[in-house]
Amino acid sequence: MAGAIAPHLAGLVVLDLSSVGPAARASRILADYGAEVIKIAPTSAKGSVQITPPFYSYAAGRGIKRLRIDLKSPRGKEVFLKLAARADVVIESFRPGVVARMGIGYEDVLELNERIIYCSTSGYGQEGPRSKWAGHDLNYLAVGGYLHCSGRRADGGPALPGATVADSAAGGMHAVIAILAALFRRQQTGRGDYLDVAVADGVLQLMSLHVDRYLATGEEPEPRGDILTGRYACYDVYAAKDGKWLSVAAIEPVFFANLCRALDCEKWIEKQTDDASQEEIREAFRRAFLRKDRDAWVAQLGPGDACVAPVATIPELVDDAGFVARAAFTNAEHSKRGRFRQVGPVLAGPKREVPAHRVADATTSESADVLSRAGFARSEIDDLTASGAVE
């Protein structure tokens, strides 16, 4: 069980109807905190309905069980509803209205389980003019203002983000926060809740500093419009002698002063937020950073209270001493792909040093174990399997 990783949510039963995206990220986090997550996947005959993610993604199913059900068959739907009757949480990511038409929506489950917390994740929410739109991470970052306030490409367009910020933070973590809040409320009321998690809403929350500034003052946020989007030289990235990059975030005057002294740029200490001086400061910083290789600067400035850190590549960070010291990585083993490393349960709370886990093939199903724990008799499980309702 996932409870072997962390006891925080041990005993919590989660049914996850998703395959990829924010909902899958949410169940990944819940599993790392000890919840018993059961991934409800389509049977092989219906397999084209969902995307099959790469074997390594979402921690390769660490601590998650898989059950294949034909949800379009009457018997398959009955199986799901019986499981939902004893579950604590259902997570789904179909288009708005789909689960209700399938007969497995919130109202259907509520009739059997008033304690259920039913979390629907979607791009734009269950209601509203965009509720039926298809979309992905980039679209949600676009409507929520994130792209507009980001850096610019050579042609003037917004730069593509280097991570799926909307799926992970605005969607997955958003869903987990809502689920945990609903669980707390259920302790007081005895009743569950329906959660309409819109990824675009989550992006709006991530952008609230910029949005609230505009609403309160009328100042329109733009790229390089304030300190956090590159208005000042103290918050930017600079190339080193070897072509590698450094991030500089010396916001506080004391850190900026430390940086200026280390770069032999003391003349600019009193000009940190002087708009007329910014290009001169940037040019002075550019020239200074080109005197040494990136790691030489990191060794000097990292511990020197100057708010400087390396811009790490993925091959660099997987062996980074800081992450290694914090047991950020663990191991997995696939029957065909062999042994490989992966990001471990790095969010605060779960035990980080976990045993290597065996990765189940995407075609497998743990129907016998899952269904027997849910109260199905062995003969009933055999009959459901023979009918094709489950695999």
Whole-number pLDDT of residue 49: 55
Whole-number pLDDT of residue 1: 38
Taken in order 39, 45, 51, 52, is the CA torsion positive or negative?
positive
Whole-number pLDDT of residue 348: 86
Domains, the chain, in order of start with CATH, read 2-205+329-387 (3.40.50.10540), 228-239+245-310 (3.30.1540.10)
Q: Are 350 and 328 in contact (CB under 8 A)?
A: no
- DSSP, residue by residue, 185-246: HHHHHS--EEEEEEHHHHHHHHTHHHHHHHHHH-PPP-TTSSGGGTSSTTEEEEE-TTS-EE
pLDDT (tens place) for every residue of the chain, 391 residues total:
333 456 899 999 999 999 899 999 999 999 999 999 999 998 877 655 567 788 888 888 888 999 999 999 999 999 999 999 999 999 999 999 999 999 999 999 999 999 999 999 999 999 999 999 999 999 999 999 999 999 888 898 999 999 999 999 999 999 999 999 999 999 999 999 999 999 999 999 999 999 999 999 999 998 888 999 899 999 999 999 999 999 999 999 999 999 999 999 999 999 999 999 999 999 999 999 999 999 999 999 999 999 999 999 999 999 999 999 999 999 999 888 889 998 988 888 877 778 788 888 777 788 888 898 888 989 888 889 889 899 8
Q: Are 251 and 307 in contact (CB under 8 A)?
A: yes
212 given a catalytic annotation: no
136 given a catalytic annotation: yes
Catalytic, out of 88, 167, 193, 236: 167
State the first-to-last Cα distance of the chain, in angstroms, to the nearest integer.
20
Q: Are 241 and 291 in contact (CB under 8 A)?
A: yes
Whole-number pLDDT of residue 48: 53
Q: How far apart are CA 302 and CA 310, in angstroms?
A: 9
